[in-house]
Amino acid sequence: MQYADTVYLNGTLYTGNTHRSFAQALAVQGEKILAVGLDDEIRVLAGPDTRVVNLAGALMVPGFIDGHVHPMQGQQILGDFDLSGLNEPAVILERIRDCANATPHETWVYLGGANLAAFGAYPTRALLDQVVLDRPLLVIGYDVHSGCLNSKGLELAGISAATPDPKGGIYEHDATGVPTGVVHEEALYRICPLIPQLSPAGYPKALAKAHAMANGFGVTGWFDAWLDEPMIKAYADAQRNGELKVYMSAGLVAQPGGDAREQIERFTAWRQKYHCDNLRLHTVKIFIDGVPESKTAALLAPYVGSDECGLALWSQEALNEIALLADTAGFDLHFHTLADHAVRMALDALEHVQHHNGMRDRRAQLAHLQLIDPADYGRFHQLGAIASIQALWTAASPEQQQLFCDLFGPERTARNYPFRSLRNAGAMLAGGSDWSVSTMNPLPIMQTGVTHVPVDQPDGAPWNPHERLDLLTMLEAHTVNSAYALRFDDCTGSLEAGKDASFAVLDRNPFCHPVEELTQARVVETCFRGEVVYSEPSQMA
């Protein structure tokens, strides 16, 4: 008799299998799922040394797979003086002052996670000089697309009135032509290497913190959406030491303006060097545009009251070239596409690739998708493009809704985050968080995707309720679909005999409660390949 190491009985198991069926019980042996079925079928697999867990009706799901996140970089960018959740300008400035006082020996004063829009216009060097005058200061916004420098920061970064904007970036200037200290996109990213707090020396600590947070949320895999070789090496070191307790898919970031062929050859060399088991390097990440708040999201028609259509970081010709080279080398593609022009460019690039390279098993993804021209909804299915969605953003505060209306106008704002329309047009939806922009916890993300109401404002009116999804669709997006999108469906994403024993157990079955109570549920156990990597001991007996 082949006894299990652990059996889980008396539960509700969302299997995520081909039929999307539910089960009652599951048996684990070693790293693998031994069997899934009814209680009586699984109970006979329990031997004298088997750990027996009574789920008491609670829900077990395949481990959540975060389809778009910045785990290691996010931990570093937030830093030790995280500004997340602070929305009053005076409180933010006081936190910056506290950081400066607490880090007198650091070359730079550095903070991340800031709500820069809380100031109205983003804070300039003049304001920041009142808080930190004698040392360089950089504050990065929570979306990691914009940052603000004081005068010393501008000086140390070598930014003056004569400094031209880098390709794909913007240095803001005042009416006299002097830099304000506000920087966007590539203009920000060029400054980051100057900051000691963002150096590779902190990668192992950041990765360990990311593991702990993710496993506590039931997350057993992710797509790290922005990596360079030092970051990949940190992952490889963790894997070699047996410390990589997630399925990790790497986003190898292609840069506009660089030699496309040389970049793909470099990524191919990284793949040969580092790709192994649960560390996989098969995706090229391409930023096509920015974000609407800074008017860097690329639109087909101008922003309201303007002749500006945002910032497309690539020409269509250059995008087609690197997409074709990446596809020819066997890579998948993952596009940052906030607005409708960026979406159109990505789909056109995929069509170009398909025309030249023919049909194959492609798993291209378009991420974020705040605004899509309705004419392009059906093209996702036609081209096999996966919609990488961040459903927490489907609930906007009245202030945010007004901001988007001011930027897009009412007709386009009513089409923001058209996830139901995409699904109805045949697109696969893969769920992600984009942490540290927003929470990595999939439960509030899934709840919001169903309600379109902020979890902390349950009495609010839903935003664009015609685009709401159901809970089963959201669960599918964050498990089996994301596993498929990242090519981990060979070993995880569903609860089936022979697959890895990677799953999460909640303290209740959310399908038996109003969806508005989903965030009251807690993950009480997370397993990765048969190993319990997170647990609440009192709950799992």
Distance CA 409, CA 428 (A): 28
According to DSSP, residue 276 is labeled B
pLDDT of residue 539: 54
Do the beta carbons of residue 137 and residue 103 sit within 8 Å?
no
Place of tokens 């291209």: 364
Question: From first to last of its 541 residues, what are the pLDDT tens digits of the chain?
Answer: 789 999 999 999 999 999 989 999 999 999 999 999 999 999 999 999 999 999 999 999 999 999 999 999 889 888 889 998 899 999 999 999 999 999 999 999 999 999 999 998 899 999 999 999 999 999 999 988 899 999 999 999 999 999 999 988 999 999 999 999 999 999 999 999 999 988 998 999 999 999 999 999 999 999 999 999 999 999 999 999 999 999 999 999 999 988 999 999 999 999 999 999 999 999 999 999 999 988 999 999 999 999 999 999 999 999 999 999 999 999 999 999 999 999 999 999 999 999 999 999 999 999 999 999 999 999 999 999 999 999 999 999 898 999 999 999 999 999 999 999 999 999 999 999 999 889 999 999 999 999 999 999 999 999 999 999 999 999 999 999 999 999 999 999 999 999 999 999 999 999 999 999 999 999 999 999 999 999 986 655 5
Distance CA 11, CA 534 (A): 19
Can you say whether residue 139 is alpha, beta or left, with left for phi > 0 and alpha for psi between -120 and 50 degrees?
beta
Got the DSSP string for 488-532? Answer: -TTTSSS--TTSB--EEEESS-GGGS-GGGGGG--EEEEEETTEE
pLDDT of residue 312: 96
Give the residue among 312, 219, 214, 330 at the shortest CA–CA distance from 271: 330
Residues 6 or more apart in contact with residue 525 via CB below 8 angstroms: 504, 505, 532, 534, 535, 536, 539, 540
Can you say whether residue 295 is alpha, beta or left, with left for phi > 0 and alpha for psi between -120 and 50 degrees?
left
Distance of CA 30 to the CA centre of its chain: 31
Radius of gyration of the chain (CA): 23
pLDDT of residue 356: 98
Give the residue among 310, 396, 397, 387 at the shortest CA–CA distance from 347: 387
Residues 6 or more apart in contact with residue 307 via CB below 8 angstroms: none
Residues 6 or more apart in contact with residue 55 via CB below 8 angstroms: 8, 9, 10, 11, 12, 505
Name the phi and psi angles at 13, rounded to 5.
-110, 115
User: In terms of pTM, does the model score above 0.85?
Assistant: yes
Full set of structural domains in the chain with CATH: 4-63+498-535 (2.30.40.10), 71-197 (3.10.310.70), 216-485 (3.20.20.140)
pLDDT of residue 143: 87
Do the beta carbons of residue 167 and residue 257 sit within 8 Å?
yes
Do the beta carbons of residue 106 and residue 470 sit within 8 Å?
no
